[in-house]
Structures are given as structure tokens and as C-alpha cells.
Structure 1
Amino acid sequence: MTTPIMPINVGNTGFMLLCSSLVMLMTPGLAFFYGGLVGRKNVLTIMAQSFMSLGWTTVLWFAFGYSMSFGPTWHGIIGDPTYYAFMRGVTLHTMFGGNDAGIPLIVHVAYQMMFAIITPALITGAFANRVTVKAYFLFLTAWLIFVYFPFVHMVWSPNGLLAQWGVLDFAGGIVVHNTAGFAALASILYVGRRSFVENKPHNVPLIALGTGLLWFGWYGFNAGSELRVDYVTCSAFLNTDVAASFAGTTWFFLEWSHSKQPKLIGLLTGAVAGLATVTPAAGYISLGSAATIGVIAAVVCYFAVMMKNRLGWDDALDVWGVHGVGGLLGTILLGVFADKAWNAAGANGLLLGDASFLWKQVVAAVVSGIWAFVFTYGMLWVIDRFTPVKVDPKTQESGLDAALHGEEAYTQGL
């Protein structure tokens, strides 16, 4: 007697394939965003780091990453790396069992893979213009294995330690932005300041293009995290845009009042801060809460960047101030604004009387940030014992594109 094949939900499957494509597009978008922010002599290096993640993370995900993230649990901390190794046992008709959405497992593999790709790529903006290719490759590999995969399992796997405790993270405030942001902070403190500092972006239109692609892809990032099409999908979609718009506008006017000039880069940076901050909460809150989170995100992240500047931290592209602080803030604000009226599978936050849920969110945000920071700092120290992490001052001054890659983004004289 043969086992019946579960029916596929065509609508949900098509939607999730679209969302997977949108999230994939965010990594090239990030490459454009970062590429415009750095100087002319380092454009290709920062873009190459994003595309390296696009390729190498896929290999690791296929080999054992998905299995470590969503395989049978080991004490709620990590999945069995052999269970789905090299997609063992996954057939055309294997269905994803995490809910009743009716999507094939290979669709879930693809969607979550896109998250794994962009997360370490976010960190690269912190140590822009000063890390060797070998060191970055080793960093990318170790960081995924010891930081990203375990936190995916703990937060998003049904048997994960934090998931079982009641921690919520709709689309990656803890898993993506908080871990990446505090890993970025560890990176800048270990690697140190650039020997040759270029703080003036070389191509603002490229930054705008990258922001547009990130914003566009973020709809798949947040709305797709419901893994199906329903009312929550719709609210997460609009919450994404509302938070980004309120944050971008708030940052724009806040910076205008300080610098006396309306800055396009400020508007774009603020929008990204809003997107990062609403990510953990997108499917659990009301539209009004999304607007409030957008305003709070702009103010807090703006002053986090100002504080970074006063402390002399050389976070070249403000990864910690935007993504780290945004992810931490959004995770905590979810504990304040969560509302079961907008998602029955969620929780009620502090404003609706549940202080214990806020406490869980705070603990999860702090623990994930500390682990990402400590492991990243220690890992870079170990890598430095085998191959230099930091590029020498002469190479930094001449530019990493030509020195490390033998390529240039622009022909000299143009």
C-alpha cells in the first residue's frame, strides 16, 4: 500500500517562491547600497563580499545548514546536521510540516536559505575597506555555523529552546539583525580603525538603488515569514511599509534640524532602520504600532549612530547603529506592542498586560547579542593566528579592489 501524496497548495507555494525571489534580490541590493557608501577604490570588494555569501552560504546550507537549523533538535540548541545533509531524504513530494500551508519542503529550504545568505553579508559594512579575502571567507563559514544556524534553530524551529520558552521573532529581529549588528560591533573593535578613512559616499544614486531593492525585497522578507497567504500576511506587508516610511521621514527631519540640510542618505538610512526594527514584530502588531515603531526606530538608531561617532568606533557603514540597535529595539518593542487581535498565534505585550512576554523578549535579545559579540571577537582572534585579518595600511590607501581582486569599478580618469 503506497503512502498518499499530500496535496500542494498552489497559491501558498507560488507566493512563497515569489517571496524567496524577493529576499534573494535583497543581497544584490545590499551590495549596491554598500557599494555606493564606500569610496571608489573599494566598491568591488564590498560588493564581492555580498556575492560571496550568495554563493558560499548556499553551499553550506545545502550541505548541512538547513539540517542544523531545522533538523531534529539537540537540547533545543541545534538541529541534527546529518538529518537533511545534502538534502538526504528530500524528494519532489516531501512536504514542509511546520504548518498546514501545503508547501513543499524544498520551498521552505529555498526561502530560509535566502535569509541565511543576507545575514552575514550585513556585517561586512562594519569592517569595510580593511579585511582580507581569506579572513572574510573563514569568518563567513564559522559565523554561520556557530551563530546563525543555532539561533535559527532556537528561535524558528518548533522544538527550539527560545521558541519553546515563548520568544517570538516574526522575520528576524533576533536571528538576523541583532546577531549581525552585534557581530559587527565586535568586528570593528577587534579589527580597529581604518588607516585611510573615506567617509564620503562615492555614489549616492547607487545607495538609492540599493535601498529601493532592499525595501522591495523586504516585503518578501516580512510578509513571507507567515509562510502562507492569510490576514497576517497582509498586515505584515503593510506594517513593513508603514514602519519604513515613518522611520525614513523622521530621520530625514531629525537630521535636517541638526545639519541644517535635508539629506537623501539620511532618508534612505532611516528607512532601512525602520525596516530592520519592525522585522521581528511585523506579523504580531497593529498598523498604528508599526507607525510608532518606525518613529522610535529613527530616533534611537539616529542617536546610536551619533554615539558611535563620539566614541570613535569605525563602523564604516553604521551596521551596529542601524541593524544591531534596530534588531534589539524591535525585539523589545514587540514585547510592548504585541497584540493577539492581529495574530492569534502571537502574544499580548506589555500594553495589554503581559509583562512576562516583554521579559522573555529582553532576555532573548540580550543573550543573542552577547553570544554574537563574544563569538565573533574570539573567532576573529583565532583566524588572525592563521591568516591576517586586517589589510595593511599601504593596501588600504591604494584601494582593495585593485590590490586584492585585480579589478577596478571605474576606469581611471573617468
Structure 2
Amino acid sequence: MEISTGDTAWVMVSAALVLLMTPGLALFYGGMVRAKSVLNMIIMSIVAMGVVGVLWVLFGFSLVFGESIGGIIGNPTDFAGLGQLLGPDASMGGLPTLAFVGFQAAFAIIAVALVSGAVADRMKFSAWVIFAGIWAVIVYFPAAHWVFAFDDTVSEHGGFIANTIGAIDFAGGTAIHINAGAAALALAVVIGPRVGFGKVPMRPHNLTMVMTGAAILWFGWFGFNAGSALGANEVAALAWVNTLLAPASALLAWLLVERNRDGHATTLGAASGIVAGLVGITPAASSVEPLGAVIIGLLAGLICALAVGLKYRIGIDDSLDVVGVHLVGGLVGTLAIGFLASPSTPDGSAGLFYGGGFGLLGAQVLGAVAVLAYSFIVTYLLAKILDRVIGLRVPVEVEQAGIDVAEHAESAYDLSQVGYASRSVRHSIVIPTTPAKVEN
């Protein structure tokens, strides 16, 4: 098929937007932690770009999009090193296959980075790097194969969720958000709560950074969702509009919950509502009408705002609410498709509210449960093994003093000169004791 320059340009721009989301996530997460651990939180996201990027080239793309082995995993040798995808004949659907490789690489990177928010302030950086690499290989790559590898797209046969169950996941509600949320829950259970969790205030140290990160995430998410159309077409246009509407309504819903529950709306709530709405619309961006996107956003904002407080009741320290926003929001969006999918959309599926029966809802439930269960179980086992072999957690004294200095020999904010500069300025100012004479 002849290469479409317009579609190729859109996918490559979208890939760049999705890659930008990981630094945006670093800011979002970094602002939410205490000042003594902000650098550690930021680099946990950024290092995923290195670890996953290299693995993706070596064999990750092949594991996800290579010829399927029983619908479970792609053949790791099909595209190892990506040398097979060079040249004018390496194309798919009017795109150079390498453009698709880059687009999906950015998805894999942010999926891994998302998990880090559950273990803020207390995980060894070396342990995180090892965990991130292994988790990408044994959890994300298989789940992405199940969901994203459609038959006759890159290879002849793909994953079982996309092709056998037939669940709809347009841009990663299951493969990325439910997957990362379930993994975050398992990792938080194994590593345990922060010192003082539930007793000592652990407020975000920089809400300006949080809101900036949320804005970058929303901006990049237009590439995340609309780019998943793999072309500049009507599917991309609907996904773009839905990606505007769902977080807008989720933002309002979250603030409403805060206002009624706490007596005031917060900037942290606004940022969290935006992300919850983005997560909710991700699987449904091509299958619901704009009004459906508003409904999904309202549901995601409402339910996620209520869910984030449950960690204090059950005693599981999901530090930055990866479970409450990404797992819960991913479930909301994935299951909502079974009710709100409209046959008038490019996807053409019909949910319960459009006379489609229970078949689609059943497929959505099966797809979500399969990814959730696999991710939680395998992540839990991986975390237990790593904790036994290398130890996941920094010593208590390091956590209390601040993980940035101990793990990275750096501090985000150098305040050592503030007092000295203030004294110097104060002593250098001469204050007259009598009014100055005015000369004519």
C-alpha cells in the first residue's frame, strides 16, 4: 500500500506528544511528593524512557506485535533489533511500520512510569530500575499483545483479547491503565506503607508543578487517543473531541465531590480530575458519542474522587493514587463501553443503551478482569522475589531524612544561601535616622 504522508505525519507527531507525557507525568508526580524526595520521583519516570526504550528495540516490539504464539505473546525473534522493518516495503496500513514502532514505544514507556507513583518516598532507585525492566517484559509486553495486536495488522495473528474475546480498548484502558493500576496495588502491598502513613501529614510540596504536569498530560493525551486512529481521519477527530470533553467533565465532578465532602475545591483535585477523565475516555474514545464522553468523564471524576480515600481505610499506601485514578478510572471507561458504545461512531459497536445486548459488556468485563488479575498476580510475585533477593525499600532513616540525597546525592532546592543572603542585604542597608534635606 502506498505510504500516506499525511497519516504518517500525524502518527509521528502523536508519538512525540505521547512521549512528552512521561516528563509531564514526572512533574505531576514530582509535585505531589514532599520536597525531600521530588528528584527521586521525577527520575523514576524519566529512567523508564531509557530502560523501556532499549528493551522495545531489542525485542519488546516483537513480543507485542510479532506472530502470536497461542494468542499469548508475540514471537520475540520476528522483529528483534527492528532491522527487518527498514526499507520501502516495511509498511502497514499506509504507514511506515517504524512510525508505528515509535508510537507504541511511547505507550510502553508511560505504562511503566505510571506504576512508580505507588511507591513514592521509599523504594531503592536501583530496585526500581530492575523492577521496571522485568515488569515491562513479563507484564506489559504480554498484556499489550493481548489488547493491541490485531490479526493481519503487523503480523497475521495477534492477541486473544483483541481477536477472540473482542473487547474494545481503543488506546489502552486495559493494557496501560488497569495494568499499571493493578501492578501499583501489588507493589504497594509488598513494599508496605511510608513511615507515618495515616498519622503524619504528607502534603504535595509544589502544587504549581502538579498542575503543570496535568496540563502537559492533557496536551499529550490528544496524541495518545487521537493518534491511536493511526491516521488523520474521522476516527481521530472523534477521539480528539472526546479527549477534550471527558476530562473537562471529570474535572467538574471531582471538584463537586470535594466541595460537598470537604467544604472546598482544590487545585490538586482539579488536576486529579483531569487525569481521571483522561484515563476513563482512553478505551472508549472511538466508540462513544461526545455526550457519552461527558458521561464517562462525570463517572470517572465522581468514582475516582471517592476511591482515592479508601487507601486510608484499608491501610494500603498507594502514595500518589495510581490505584484510585488509573485502575478505577480504567475500569470505569472499559465497562462504560458496554453501556454507551454507539453504532453511529466509527467503531460501530452497540452497547446496552443502544440496543446491543449484553455481549459487548461481557467482553469488556472479561478483558478487564484478565489484565487486572494477570498484572496483580505476576507483579506481586515479582516484587516478593526482588524484595527477598535485593531488597526493595530504603532504610527507615533514609526515608525520614529524604531519599534524594541518599539515592542521588542531590537536592531539588538549594536553600543554603537564603539566610546568608538575607543577612548580607540587611546589614548593607543604611537607614537614615533623620529626614534628608531637600536642596533647592
Q: Same fold (TM over 0.5)?
A: yes
Q: Deviations over 1:254-311 (max 9, x none)?
A: 1012111221110110110010011000111100000000111111111111222222
Asked if structure 1 preserves the Cα contact closer than 8 Å seen for 2:253 and 2:298, the reply is yes
Alpha carbons of structure 1 residues 393 and 94: separation in structure 2 relative to 1, 3 Å: farther
User: 2:378 maps to what in 1?
Assistant: 375
2:95 aligned with 1:103, yes or no? Answer: yes
The whole-number CA distance in structure 2 between the counterparts of 1:122 and 1:154 is 20
Alignment of 1:320-339 (within 5 A): 320-339=323-342
Asked if structure 2 preserves the Cα contact closer than 8 Å seen for 1:126 and 1:314, the reply is yes
Q: Deviations over 1:137-194 (max 9, x none)?
A: 1211111111111111111111211111211100000000000001111111111111
Aligned pair partner of 1:9 in 4, 9, 17? 4
2:242 aligned with 1:239, yes or no? Answer: yes
2:151 aligned with 1:182, yes or no? Answer: no
Deviation of 1:239 after TM superposition, in Å, equals 0.3
RMSD of aligned C-alpha atoms? Answer: 1.2
Aligned pair partner of 1:138 in 120, 130, 149? 130
Q: Deviations over 1:177-228 (max 9, x none)?
A: 0000011111111111111555200001000110000000000000000101
Aligned pair partner of 1:77 in 72, 77, 83? 72
Deviation of 1:346 after TM superposition, in Å, equals 4.4
The whole-number CA distance in structure 1 between the counterparts of 2:256 and 2:332 is 21
2:141 aligned with 1:149, yes or no? Answer: yes
2:359 aligned with 1:356, yes or no? Answer: yes
The whole-number CA distance in structure 2 between the counterparts of 1:196 and 1:52 is 28
Aligned pair partner of 2:252 in 249, 254, 277? 249
Q: Deviations over 1:220-242 (max 9, x none)?
A: 00000010111111010010110
Q: Deviations over 1:303-335 (max 9, x none)?
A: 111222222221110000000111111111111
The whole-number CA distance in structure 1 between the counterparts of 2:388 and 2:262 is 44
The whole-number CA distance in structure 2 between the counterparts of 1:254 and 1:92 is 54
2:57 aligned with 1:67, yes or no? Answer: no
Aligned pair partner of 2:215 in 209, 212, 230? 212
Asked if structure 1 preserves the Cα contact closer than 8 Å seen for 2:251 and 2:301, the reply is yes
Asked if structure 1 preserves the Cα contact closer than 8 Å seen for 2:3 and 2:91, the reply is no
Q: What SS is found at the alignment partner of 1:167?
A: coil
Unaligned runs of 5+ residues in structure 1 are 1-5
2:60 aligned with 1:58, yes or no? Answer: no
Deviation of 1:340 after TM superposition, in Å, equals 2.3
Q: Deviations over 1:93-132 (max 9, x none)?
A: 24332xx3x1101100000000000001001111101111
The whole-number CA distance in structure 1 between the counterparts of 2:249 and 2:90 is 39
Aligned pair partner of 2:35 in 28, 31, 40? 40
2:303 aligned with 1:300, yes or no? Answer: yes
Unaligned runs of 5+ residues in structure 2 are 151-157, 419-440
Look up the equivalent residue of 2:188 and give its one-letter code. I
Aligned pair partner of 1:119 in 106, 111, 120? 111
Q: What SS is found at the alignment partner of 1:239?
A: helix
Asked if structure 1 preserves the Cα contact closer than 8 Å seen for 2:185 and 2:376, the reply is yes
Asked if structure 2 preserves the Cα contact closer than 8 Å seen for 1:179 and 1:368, the reply is yes
Alpha carbons of structure 1 residues 409 and 320: separation in structure 2 relative to 1, 3 Å: same
Asked if structure 2 preserves the Cα contact closer than 8 Å seen for 1:199 and 1:316, the reply is no
The whole-number CA distance in structure 2 between the counterparts of 1:92 and 1:40 is 49
Look up the equivalent residue of 1:195 and give its one-letter code. V
User: 2:426 maps to what in 1?
Assistant: none
Look up the equivalent residue of 2:57 and give its one-letter code. F
| Percent sequence identity over aligned pairs | 40
Q: What SS is found at the alignment partner of 2:299?
A: helix
Asked if structure 2 preserves the Cα contact closer than 8 Å seen for 1:239 and 1:290, the reply is yes
Larger Rg: 2
Asked if structure 1 preserves the Cα contact closer than 8 Å seen for 2:339 and 2:351, the reply is yes
Q: What SS is found at the alignment partner of 2:410?
A: coil
Deviation of 1:56 after TM superposition, in Å, equals 1.1
The whole-number CA distance in structure 2 between the counterparts of 1:196 and 1:409 is 23
Asked if structure 1 preserves the Cα contact closer than 8 Å seen for 2:36 and 2:412, the reply is yes
Deviation of 1:253 after TM superposition, in Å, equals 1.6
